[in-house]
Every structure is written in structure tokens, then in C-alpha cells.
Chain A
Amino acid sequence: MRVVVPVTERVDETPSTVTLRFPYPAVADPGQFVMVWLPGDDELPMSLSYTDGPSKGVTIKAMGATSRRALSLRPGDRVGVRGPYGNRFDLTPRKVLIVSGGSGAAVLAPAAERARASGSSVTVALGATRAPELLFKERFRALGARVEVATDDGSEGTKGFVTAVAERLLASERYDVVWTCGPEVMMKKVITAASPRSVPVFCSMERHMKCALGMCDACALGPYHVCVDGPVFPATQLEPLGDFGAFHRDSSGRRVPL
């Protein structure tokens, strides 16, 4: 059921991402998403970047016209919220490697927090285009995670893709599980690095989404629907799919290259 709530807090996280907090007491877990409606505009799926307590949060990056408008929301502005929807990360305590590309940290940060709280050790490979775009770097550090940074332009940490950092970490230490979110080509490379070492990988996936109920088929991915079967998928489910890392469907349902 959709409820209309006011934005209570806005935090400019990086030059291109903004966190909006709003009262929404429903129980939620890291990995899940909500549908956020900007009245008069569109309604978009957004991963919860704050899952605990009565005040939830989403962290938005400008992708299209509606998310750009969402970036201009201020405390007091009203949004419609429904959910949470989708599955969650398995938080069984163990040694976790998180690989985050760009705004992927939005869904991974709450997962890291819950994992730490339940006794997991957490290492984060955090990638962005440039230093100011490193999302939730301090948040990851604050929970006692080891954070290794990569930037495309070399303005902080390793110069290049975060996958190189992930490969180095996987080669030097034994992890029990990898959680990753970011561009699909990045996640594919993470799987390629982890698979020979038999480390299971879970990817938080994104597809065009309309109903979020498993009805409209907009988010169809092979035999799955990202809204109800995901958004968190084990790599073993994704690897056989020809569309993974290659195709998505546009709003008309046409398969188009990513």
C-alpha cells in the first residue's frame, strides 16, 4: 500500500548523489527496495540505503528526468512510498568482501552495517569515477570495515577500475562471500575473479521496473523478475543468462543492449 510522507532530511553525499530520509516504519532489510513516487511525475524503484528504524532512506543518483527531479527534493516535500519489495542479502556471519561501483554503495552500505552488527568481518572495495564521488566511504570506515579505494582518474586510491582492487583482495585473502552492486560489466568481472576461487558472489541487479509486484514483466531477466525474485541474485543464477551484462528491456519491453 502506498503512503504519502514528507521528506524529513536531505544529505548531499557526493556531487551526483543525494540521500533523502522519510518516516516509513515498515520492517525492511538490506537488499530491498521501495517504489518512490514524485507526485505529478514518475515512480521509481530505489534501493533502501537506510533500512533500520522508523526513518528509512534512499540515496539517489541522477539517471533520467525523474531522478534528476528527485535530487532537487527538500525537507517538507512529499513523496509516495510503497514497499519494501524484493529479497535481501543473507547476513549469516562470515568474512564478507563488498565490491561497490558508483552508486552501488547505496544498497551495500546498510548490508555492511548489519553484517558487522551480526559479527561478520567486512572488507570494501569502493570504486568511483573520481575521489569526490566515492559514496559512503566514511560510513563504511565508521563501522570498522577495511576500505580499499579505486578511482577512474586516480584522484584517490588505485587508478583504474575497482575490479582490479577486488582481484587483488581475492588473491591475497580467503573470503566466504562477495556482495557486489554496480555496472553489470563490473559485476561480471567480479564473478570472473571470484569463481575460480569458489567464492560465492551475490549481485544486486537493476532493471527497468514498473509494477514491482511481479505482474508487468518490465523487469524480466531470463526466467526471473528482478522485483520479486531479486534484486539480489547469486552469480550461479545470472551466469547462464545471455542477457546478464549484455541486454536489458526498455519501457516497451524491447531487448536492447546495456
Chain B
Amino acid sequence: MADLAVRCAGVELRNPFLLASGIWGESGESLAGAWNAGAGGVITKSIGSVPRPGYPNPTVETYERWGLLNAMGLPNPGMDEYPREIEVARRAGATVIGSIFGGSAEEFARLAVRMAATGVVALELNLSCPHAEGYGTEIGGTPEDVEKVVRAVTQKVSLPVIAKITPNTSDAAALALAAQRGGAAAVSAINTLRAIAIDVHLQRPVLAHGLGGLSGPAIKPVGLACVWQIFEKVTIPIIGVGGIATAQDALEYVMAGARALEVGTQVTFDGVAVFGRLARELSGLLDELGFARLEDAVGVAHRASSVPRG
């Protein structure tokens, strides 16, 4: 059986499949459930300075098994209360990565210090939520902003910092490079693609917030392209995310340059049993292709590539 253990952003992962931020993760019991089901690690809901209820419903629209549109609006219990949930997950033995969001570099830095004190192994900065006014993409939309936020955080905490960047830009690789300049230990790509659903009978958007973010198999080729381009520009590890439903999807991301992976929408479709299945199937696929270790497959597609670089 091929070895799925990877070291990414200074963190040892028993396998590359992380629970993506925003899926489950409001409660410690849910994080523990994903870990117990075989996830390589779990990323918390993005936590802010104060409790936030998120948007009213409808917050989701489903497209069979190919996509999920959501605008939850960053609901979270707030940093005062959330350490309890992390403690529950840690008691279950989970490798926990803490996701945070702020409205400024200073707020990110303050939250990072508090999140770091909870016992998480790394931080993920949400610089990419596409549907929250004053947060996410709005403060991670340019290389300058990404670098500023990442630097503010890395100056305050010694834990590895992962910048989750947006695909809603003309140059995701430039954002990743900015994160690297700011001192990030890794980047995760991609967050959801900005999207909307319209009801023709009611002649209005379906989601209460109007705009939302699209996830699921529909966005996999977009995520792959971002990871591909980022791999050409940065030296820090990449965590691939976007529409991973099968071991083959996972390996496509790895061969495009990802060292670790996040799984979200597929957890909605299949439950956390998806983690055990993906790990088993990926190990089998690597065996079949002659890779002894997952790490040996990272970025290999670039070697064979005749794609013009630049």
C-alpha cells in the first residue's frame, strides 16, 4: 500500500485529505467525527472576533451531484466561545487547523494570536470567502492585501500560516506569491467561485444574499488550473481544494502540484465516510501507477508538460 502520509506546511498529516473549512466544523463533536472517519486533519469553520449568525435562508442551492451554491455568510460562534469546540476535537486526537477571518490585517493578527493559543497545529487565513461584505475576497483580492494580512499574522505567531486564496481573480498565482512573500507556510486553493441562482417564477435570486459561492465537481478544472499556475510560481506547499470527489480527482490535484487536499462538498453528498473511501482508493491508485509514496507524485505533471510557461 502506497504511503499517504505527507508533511505540509510543517505539519505531519496521516493522509492528505483535510476537512475543508465551512463544512461541519461549527461544533467540536463534528470535527471529531470527521477525524474519526479518517480525515488526515480538520479545518475549523472560519472564526471571527464576535459571534456571527450569518445570512438568513435560503443559504444553499443544490445542483444534483455536480455543484453546491452557498452563501452562509460566515456564521460562527466567535473566538470567545470557540476554544471549547477545538478542545473537544483535540481530545478525540484530531489534528486541528484553525481558520480565521478578519476585516483588516490588524484584526487577523489579533485573532491569530488567540487561535494559536487553542492548541491548533496551524492557521488558515480566509482571504477568499466570495460573499461577505468587508471580509474574505474583499480583503484578499489583491496581492498587496494578501501580503499585508499574511505578514501581519506571521509577525505575531510562530505557527505555520496557510493562506486560502480566491479563484475570483485574473491571477491566483500572483496572490499565492504574495502570500509566500508575507511568510505563509502554504497556500490553499481554491475557495468557491462567485455564482448566483435565479428563480424564474419569482423573478428573483434564490439565495437570501443573492451572490454566493459555487463548490463541488463543477469547479474542479478551475481549481486544478489555479494549483497548476501557483505551482509554477511558488516554492511553498499547495493545498488543493475544489470538487474532489474521487481518488482520481485527488491525484490530479497532486500531480498539478498539491501536497495536501481539502474535501468539502463531497462530505455534504456522502457524509464523512468519504474520507476513509478516498484514502483507500488513493492508496490503491498510487500502487497501480507505481508510486510508493504520495509525495513522489507531487507536481509530476509539470515535468512532462509541453505547456508554454510564463
Is B24's CB under 8 angstroms from A254's CB?
no
Interface 9-residue window, one of A93-101, A182-190, A220-228: A220-228
Given known A37-B57, A210-B57, A251-B54, contact A223–B201 (CB-CB < 8 A): no
Given known A4-B199, A210-B72, A253-B75, contact A220–B57 (CB-CB < 8 A): no
Is A215's CB under 8 angstroms from B77's CB?
no
The chain A residue sitting closest to B206, CB to CB, is A2
Is B27's CB under 8 angstroms from A217's CB?
yes
Q: Decide yes or no whether B30 CB sits under 8 A from chain A.
A: yes
Contacts of B53 in A (CB 8 A): 250-252
The chain B residue sitting closest to A229, CB to CB, is B271
Is B57's CB under 8 angstroms from A217's CB?
no
Measured in the bound complex, the distance between the Cα atoms of B265 and A44 in whole Å is: 22
B87 to chain A, nearest CB (A): 13
Contacts of B52 in A (CB 8 A): 252
Is A213's CB under 8 angstroms from B268's CB?
yes
Measured in the bound complex, the distance between the Cα atoms of B81 and A39 in whole Å is: 33
Q: Decide yes or no whether B284 CB sits under 8 A from chain A.
A: no
Measured in the bound complex, the distance between the Cα atoms of B264 and A211 in whole Å is: 14
Measured in the bound complex, the distance between the Cα atoms of B78 and A158 in whole Å is: 46
Q: Is the interface on chain B under 10, 10 to 19, 20 to 34, or 35 or more residues?
A: 35 or more
Given known A210-B57, A210-B72, A211-B70, contact A249–B78 (CB-CB < 8 A): no
Contacts of A78 in B (CB 8 A): 201-202
Measured in the bound complex, the distance between the Cα atoms of B54 and A251 in whole Å is: 7
Contacts of A250 in B (CB 8 A): 51, 53
- Is chain A's binding surface mostly helix, strand, loop or mixed? loop
Q: Decide yes or no whether B180 CB sits under 8 A from chain A.
A: no
Given known A215-B70, A252-B54, A254-B51, contact A220–B29 (CB-CB < 8 A): yes
Is B30's CB under 8 angstroms from A228's CB?
no
Contacts of A215 in B (CB 8 A): 23-24, 60, 68, 70, 265, 267-268
Q: Decide yes or no whether A147 CB sits under 8 A from chain B.
A: no
A66 to chain B, nearest CB (A): 8
Is A80's CB under 8 angstroms from B199's CB?
yes
Is A222's CB under 8 angstroms from B76's CB?
no
A1-34 interface code vs B (CB 8 A; 1 in, 0 out): 1101000000000000000000000000000000
In the complex, besides A210-B72, A250-B53, 4 extra interface pairs with C-beta distance below 8 angstroms are: A210-B75, A213-B60, A213-B62, A228-B271
- Interface residues, chain A, with chain B CB atoms under 8 Å away: 1-2, 4, 35, 37, 39-44, 78, 80, 210-218, 220, 222-223, 225, 228, 249-255
Task: List 10 A-B residue pairs with CB atoms under 8 Å apart, sorted by A's residue number.
Answer: A1-B62, A2-B58, A43-B57, A80-B206, A213-B60, A216-B75, A217-B30, A217-B45, A220-B24, A253-B76
